[in-house]
Amino acid sequence: MLLSGIKSPDDLKKIPEEKLPELSDEIRKKIIETVAKNGGHLASNLGVVELTIAIHRVFSSPKDAVIFDVSHQAYTHKLLTGRYNSFSSIRKHDGISGFTRRMESEHDFFDNGHSSTSISQGLGLLTAWNYCKKDGKVIAVIGDGALTGGLAFEAMNHAGQLAKNLIVVLNDNQMSISPNTGSVSRYLSSLTMTGFYQKFRNFVDRLVDKIPYSEHHLGKMIFRLKRGIKGVFLNTNLFTDFGFEYVGPLDGHNIKLLEDTFNRVKSLSKPVVVHVLTKKGKGYSPAENDPSTFHGVGPFQISNGVMEKFDTLSFTENFSQTIIDAASKNEKVAAITAAMSKGTGLDAFSRRFQNRFFDVGIAEEHAVTFAAGLSAGGMIPVVAIYSTFIQRAVDQIIHDVALPDFHVVFCFDRAGVVPGDGSTHQGLFDISILRPIPNIIMLSPCSASAKKNSLEFALEKTNHPVIIRYPKLSCPSELKAFEGEIEEGRGLLVKCEDFAPALSTDFEIEPFEIASGKCDDFKKVLFVTTGGMFAEVLQAARLVLQSHVYADIYSLRFLKPLDEEYFTSLAQNYDGVVFVEDGVQIGGIGEYLEDLLHKKNQDIKTFVKAFPDRFLHHGNREQICEDARMSPKHLSAAALSLF
């Protein structure tokens, strides 16, 4: 077996060229077997096997830096850089990350989980190396989808002026930026790498630049003439306009071709774009046939690609159904996503209402400001983006939506704890970041019915910007308290007797004792929680009840505005209050409400349970909550500590 013997890229370089197809097959088999058990990013990783092999055979990591944009396609990179033995732990608690991670390996230069960052990172790293007289190439591997992010173009604009040893590998697996026109295209691609071509290009550049430019009427015509002359003699496109050399498109699964190209590119003294064409999911037919579904997957059966399915409705599925119902009733409702139509549950909407669905690509900032424009024009846009990715558009939310008070509805999927993907994907910051913004309404539903009511409120009962945040989680079983009509600023009070009948019969307290009011001598605690933590709080309340402490739950449907008078009057009925939220504690709703309560009642006992001031790594939901001391066990302990 070839793969198990590779401890570093140096070992990879010793493998004979004729053995590389065998190595590629071994890598694909290992990735498929591991992702089938652990879940993860499959299609993107299967598509870059040969490309990653070629990069590591030509360049010398870590002397040369290989930077993967987003880095969900770095599984082959991990296998070739000493992590074969630990690869089975990928995305597991205390295992290796599904993304590049600096503390994990000297071959990982950045913790990358968001898109379009690699060229900026590479340019900064290379500039620092040059300043410190350190030799080395920087290779930024970026997908065609990531080029829809404005940050990538900002970096290319800067890199064209500054960088010499920067190589941008454009992994094109969906669309062709420069169509392959056969032999002419291949000829021009090879021509750009020759010394003669470089001299010829410089000669043409100097010659054309000597044509005088006029600011008067002939100016535009002369400018077009200069560009036209260059276009006749030189292979020009968007990248060359930025100041890069361009090579490609190349077959991204032909290792020899890739190695030959990279070896030639290494000698160029200008920034270069190497454009390669790859097939997502290559080598595994279910992923090849449906790369979108197999982009990020849970465990599945290798034989047929069938994934595990759950009977309970998720918050995402509930959103999918609810927005279709709303759009059927109101023709002004539109939906926007940033290249995540399936992940956000908008794929069904996109098929049903094609003229009201907009996938803007990986461009969250544009998505928000585009939504502001739709609202200004009389539509009601619903922007569905993961909580972690909306962080990229904070300025647009403030300046373009909240300030002019446009009616835009934001649906933040994956708010709170996010299993598997680790620190870059936790949705723990949106409350602290966005709740202080004027004109914003923020809701946190705890169930399917509450989620449905929240979206209906956002679309029909207000004209302000609205944020609805909800977790990557199955909706809890419906309780009677969830059925109430929405009242602005107020949450849902779930009384102990509403969930006590579900207690097991071996509890010391029988359900009928609670229902008949025989718990009057108990201490009483109120759990105040955001919707995403309701499942954990419900378990904690049941644990507290076993210790002869009566526990009710107040689910904060509204995080802003708050009916503060109603809340403080409600809290006066309890001996203690525990605030629980699926966000960071600093600047969170828990700290705010605790301060509010103490201003009204200095004697009431309180405890704030929120996520700590550190980044949380990967694991399942239970493991992440346990590590952060936010499990039902820890929540119940906090309540009991009050007495």
pLDDT digits (tens, 9 = 90+) for 12-60: 999 999 999 999 999 999 999 999 989 889 999 999 999 999 999 999 9
282 is catalytic: no
pLDDT for the residue 241: 79
Confidence of residue 603 (pLDDT cuts 50, 70, 90): confident
- Which tops the pLDDT comparison, 246 or 331? 331
- The per-residue pLDDT for range 84-108, each reduced to its tens digit, is 999 999 999 889 999 999 999 999 9
Lowest-confidence pick of 120-134, 195-209, 217-231, 367-381: 217-231
pLDDT band for 165, please (50, 70, 90 cuts).
confident
Q: What is the DSSP string of 316-364?
A: HHHHHHHHHHHHHH-TTEEEEESS-TTTTT-HHHHHH-GGGEEE--S-H
Sequence length of the chain is 643
List 50, 245, 259, 364, catalytic entry: 364
Name the one residue in this structure whose structure tokens are 């990986």.
Answer: 362
**pLDDT given for residue 228 in this prediction:** 53
What is the average pLDDT value for the chain, to the nearest integer? 86
pLDDT score at 506: 47
- Contacts of 598-601 with C-beta under 8 Å, sequence gap 24+, read 600/568, 600/572, 601/568, 601/571, 601/572
Rounded to two decimals, what is the model's pTM?
Answer: 0.84
Lowest mean pLDDT among 49-63, 542-556, 577-591: 542-556
Q: Answer for the pair 145, 280: CB distance below 8 angstroms, yes or no.
A: no
Q: What whole-number distance in Å separates Cα of residue 368 and Cα of residue 384?
A: 10
The 10s digit of each residue's pLDDT in 327-349 is: 999 999 999 999 889 899 999 99
Instruction: Report the range of poorest mean pLDDT among 21-35, 97-111, 169-183, 543-557.
Output: 169-183
Collapse the DSSP code of 259 into the 3-class scheme (helix H, G, I; strand E, B; otherwise coil) and give the result. helix
In the predicted structure, residue 499 carries a pLDDT above the cut 90: no
Q: Are 615 and 583 in contact (CB under 8 A)?
A: no
For the chain, the straight-line distance linking the first and the last C-alpha, in angstroms and rounded, comes to: 62
- Choice among 230, 280, 414, 451 that is catalytic: 280
**Residue 318 pLDDT level (bands cut at 50, 70, 90):** very high
- Phi (first) and psi of residue 395, to 5 degrees: -60, -40
pLDDT at position 242? 83
Range of lowest pLDDT (304-308, 334-338, 375-379, 534-538)? 304-308
Q: How many CB atoms lie within 10 A of CB 213?
A: 10
Our answer to whether residue 485 is catalytic in this structure is no
Region 467-490: what's the mean pLDDT? 86
pLDDT band at 160 (very low <50, low <70, confident <90, very high): confident
Residue spans of alpha helices (H) in 39-117: 43-46, 49-58, 75-79
Indicate which residue of 392, 490, 557, 560 is catalytic. Answer: 392
Q: How confident is the model at residue 184 (pLDDT cuts 50, 70, 90)?
A: very low
Q: Output the CA torsion sign for 124, 125, 128, 130.
A: negative
In this structure, of 138-142, 164-168, 180-184, 260-264, the range with the lowest mean pLDDT score is 180-184
Residue type, 522: F
**pLDDT(549) > 60:** yes
Q: What is the pLDDT of residue 197?
A: 54
Burial class (CB in 10 A: 0-12, 13-18, 19+), 214: exposed
Mean pLDDT score, 537-548? 91
For residue 214, pLDDT over 70 is answered with no
CA pair distance 44, 448, nearest whole angstrom: 33
Q: Is 206 a catalytic residue?
A: no
